[in-house]
């Protein structure tokens, strides 16, 4: 797994006395949601949403919007779950990483989370990926897991891909054992198989029947 330390970016530091136009010049080259503020001793103060900088006079300093400073950060020892939660809760694409004395070590980009996902068993283990859909109220992760494991297959990972008031899509990664049986069992419990698979005998039969009908109509 990629560690926090190996993913850190060393970016320019900003203080409350930094002119807004200097920060905007930096942001012209970098698409970051927030920037970290430090004091004269390089101790972390907090974060500012970069969107605020475009609402004030560029000749002002960051002190003019200091009342918007937010306090969220991570530390090198934090696990992946806490880091992901911090990204989500604060709607940011970069996080300050602090030591135990609250000095800024570096900035962690959201892309680091993607890098960890790419190295996880969800994608590195040999298996089959299914994208399924069901009514949101009826969609049960416990039921999905039970259907997979009752067919002597192993669930390598599960992600809620998208959700709305009506429908929820779930991405499954499972071993390649009994895939067709699992697909048919999911259908029996009203799951729609959004992805297409060679192992899907039901879908293959529909395709064969459709091809036969088209051939018959073209005679």
On the CB side of 62, CA atoms within 13 Å amount to 24
* Contact of 83 with 4, CB cutoff 8 Å: yes
Residue 41 banded pLDDT, cuts 50, 70, 90: confident
- Pick the closest to residue 26 from 42, 43, 39, 9 (CA basis): 9
Q: What is the pTM of this model?
A: 0.69
128-165 pLDDT, tens per residue?
A: 889 999 999 999 999 999 999 999 999 998 989 999 99
φ and ψ at 74, to 5 degrees? -130, 170
* Type and span of the H or E element at 113: helix 111-118
94-121 pLDDT, tens per residue?
A: 999 999 999 999 999 998 887 777 677 7
């Amino acid at each position: 797994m990629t560690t926090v330390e190996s993913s850190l970016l060393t970016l320019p530091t900003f203080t409350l006395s930094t002119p807004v136009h200097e920060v905007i010049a930096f942001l012209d080259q970098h698409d970051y949601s927030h920037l970290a503020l430090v004091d004269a001793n390089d101790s972390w103060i907090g974060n500012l949403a970069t969107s605020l900088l475009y609402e004030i006079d560029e000749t002002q300093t960051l002190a003019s919007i200091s009342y918007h400073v937010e306090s969220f950060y991570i530390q090198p020892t934090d696990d992946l779950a806490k880091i992901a939660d911090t990204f989500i809760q604060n709607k940011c694409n970069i996080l300050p990483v602090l030591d135990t004395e609250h000095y800024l070590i570096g900035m962690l980009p959201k892309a680091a989370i993607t890098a960890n996902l790419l190295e996880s068993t969800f994608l590195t283990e040999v298996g089959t990926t299914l994208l399924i859909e069901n009514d949101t109220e009826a969609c049960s992760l416990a039921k999905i897991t039970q259907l997979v494991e009752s067919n002597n297959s192993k669930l390598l990972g599960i992600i809620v891909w998208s959700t709305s008031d009506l429908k929820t899509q779930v991405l499954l990664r499972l071993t390649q054992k009994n895939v067709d049986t699992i697909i048919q069992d999911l259908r029996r419990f009203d799951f729609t198989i959004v992805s297409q698979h060679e192992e899907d005998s039901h879908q293959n039969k529909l395709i064969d029947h459709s091809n036969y009908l088209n051939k018959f109509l073209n005679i």
